[in-house]
Chain A
Amino acid sequence: MMRLLRQQGWVVGLLALLVVLLIVAKLIQPSYGAGDFGSLVRAVLPYAFAVAAQTVVVIAGGIDLSVAAMMALTSVTAAALMAGASEEFALLVVPFVLLMGFALGALNGILIVVSRVPDIVVTLATLFMLQGAALLVLNAPGGGSAEWLRNLIVGTVPIPVLPDTIAAFFPKALLLLVVLLCVVWIPLKRSRLGLSIYAIGSNQLAAFRSGVPVARTKILAYAFGGLFGAMGGLSLTMSTGIGAPIPGPYLMASVAAVVLGGVVLGGGKGGLLGPIIAVFVLRLARTILTLLAIDPNVTAIVEGTILVAVVMFGAFIAMRSRSR
């Protein structure tokens, strides 16, 4: 128990911070309630998937700058395919887009392994390529989304045993997020592949000497990053009903949330829970600034400053642990 607390101390602290922020929100605006929480979760959804994508890659010792572009491309692809198509057709679109994300992510990994160019440069190049591809699919925001897909994140989960006032705090979007992340992450983390991902991020030489296939593991880590990115892209299409080819601000947010969530840039450490809570914290901080009636543009500055400060802090920690 003590060890669990020690290992998960950071996550527990974040969770406490989240609760404090929720209370602050409630104090500032006494009417803050279930509906607002629901919209918070819906706003978090694409960020959360971006963070998940970044987390897998960072744990493996890399970094994925193309995550926002990947989301844009998968989002417009889904929107373009579903525009004017039948509801049933969307059942095919979803797996296709997920597979596409997985494959493009793997491509990132393959390019890194084959070209031997550092992760950060390769994913910068693919950032532009994926962006370009998104523009080719749709050169302006457009397309459509199947109704059932959009309904997946609207409303709350009906739980019969709970009174409505409490059930209202379980938005469908939260359920979707938790289910999707768990379905991918838990089996992955328990598998040998998951171990290998941590291993190559922690100490590539030791991993190699322990018989881990380093190249294959790296490619698969990026592939899972791509898969989460595709989920993020789909969630964008779900919440807006269209696809937009210009990437959103997800890259910086994902890196900051990863750092804030206790995953060390450089790899090997941390889990998915921390970064996901961190992204809630960051979004909620933004909500609170809005509730305080601060100019939304100023909010953007404050948010940006927080992100940069978090990343600087993370780099500082990484530097300290390297030099020791």
Chain B
Amino acid sequence: MSISTALPEQAPLGRRIKRFMSDYPLVPLLILLILLVLVLQMLSPGIVNQRWIANTVKFAIPLALLAGCQTMTMLTGGIDLSVGTAATMAAFIVATQAVDNPAPVAMMIALIPAMIIGFANGIGVGVFRVHPLIMTLGTSLIGVGCLQVYQRTVIASGAKVPDFLIWLGTGVTGGFPNALLLFIPIAALLIFIQKRTGFGRLLYAIGDNERATRLAGVKYWQVILALYMFSSILAGIMGLLYMGLIRAPSLSLAEPLVLPSVAAAVIGGTSIFGGRGSYTGTIVGALILTVLTTLLTILQMPEGARRILFGAIILLVTAAYLRIIEDR
């Protein structure tokens, strides 16, 4: 057997474009985002202004947070479909607990179910090796059941959204949404974890080649347990913020955001097979989806067509990434 040792000095154009895309996935994404905004402006002249931008950012932030959960779990080749339930539980519980408790206590209580869901996911995926999709779907079903039971116990006491959350969720200061005060530190933390911590390194490595990490002495279940707990807590925090934005407690508050959160991470260049992606891409992906949603609303595209589109995006982007990765 022989192998050609030289680096390919001049690859064909198609291959170079592929390589460029996989090195700088942010560039085509930003181009796409700008194009979408331009189309929006053309369809409905004058819509793009400072208020619109603040509003778009405000709605993109919850999506970006939830997509953060997907980005982190997808790095290991997983997915977390229970984030909708974790967020909804946190939101519903904070609204009902805030009636009798001071806001910080209510928020703490609200994050406990999220932690439990994350723990269960981590054990199921990390120790029992259930496929993350199935596992998180299952815990999400149980979570919804628990929430329904909980709802009946607090139905008499009413609900109250803490003022702080409303300020954070809907407030705009000097043209900037207050939610950025929460989002920027979280985004910075996520990016720091991914780039500069041992934990982040392990996420990428596990998604890339789990066997190699085992040979390097990594214990899979430890990483996975920590990961899914982190993801659920992040989802819980997002639920608190979303409660402040929507202000009406419901039992399916964050569920409609689950599919877009997967789509945002996939569009943002995170590979559903693991090992590749970054949170910066995901943020742009969330912005793209938010603008796209506005666009589809203007075009009066029904909800059904939107879902078909999202599904098709996930499939197409995944198939495309598979081709890029295979091109060794």
Contacts and interface: CB of A to CB of B under 8 A. Distances in A.
Contact of B128 (A126, A133, A312): A312
B135 to A, nearest CB: 7
Given A132-B305, A132-B308, A301-B146, A120 B133 contact: yes
Interface in A119-142: 120-122, 124-129, 131-137, 139
B130 A129 contact: no
Interface in A196-252: 245, 249, 251-252
A13 interface: no
Contacts of A295: 149, 152
B142 A305 contact: yes
Contacts of B149: 295, 297-298, 301
A23 to B, nearest CB: 27
Interface stretch (B61-69, B198-206, B312-320): B312-320
Contacts of B303: 132, 135, 139
B145 A132 contact: no
B138 A307 contact: yes
A252 B137 contact: yes
A65 interface: yes
A300 interface: yes
A315 B131 contact: yes
**Most-contacted residue by chain B among A65, A121, A131, A134 (CB, 10 A):** A121
B145 A300 contact: yes
A300 B304 CA distance: 28
- Among B134, B303, B304, chain A packs the most CB atoms within 10 A around the CB of B134
A117 interface: yes
A185 B141 CA distance: 31
Contacts of B262: 124
Contact of A117 (B139, B152, B319): B319
A127 B318 contact: no
Contact of B302 (A111, A115, A136, A307): A136
A127 B311 contact: yes
Given A121-B318, A297-B148, A308 B138 contact: yes
A252 B259 contact: no
Nearest to B125: A315
Nearest to B310: A128
Nearest to A245: B304
Interface residues of B, number: 40
B134 A255 contact: yes
A50 to B, nearest CB: 14
A33 interface: no
A135 B307 contact: yes
Contact of A129 (B135, B145, B311): B311
A311 B129 CA distance: 10
A304 B141 contact: yes
B16 interface: no
Interface string B113-135: 00000001000100011110111
Contact of A126 (B152, B259, B311): B311
B305 A136 contact: yes
A309 to B, nearest CB: 9
Contacts of A315: 124, 128-131
B322 interface: yes
A116 interface: yes
Contact of A316 (B128, B137, B309): B128
B272 interface: yes
Given A116-B319, A304-B138, A124 B128 contact: no
A134 B318 CA distance: 24
Given A65-B133, A120-B133, A132-B307, 4 more contacts: A117-B322, A301-B146, A311-B135, A315-B129
Interface of A: 63, 65, 111, 115-118, 120-122, 124-129, 131-137, 139, 245, 249, 251-252, 255, 295, 297-298, 300-301, 303-305, 307-308, 311-312, 315-316, 318-319
8 contacts: A121-B314, A128-B307, A132-B303, A135-B302, A251-B137, A295-B152, A312-B130, A315-B124
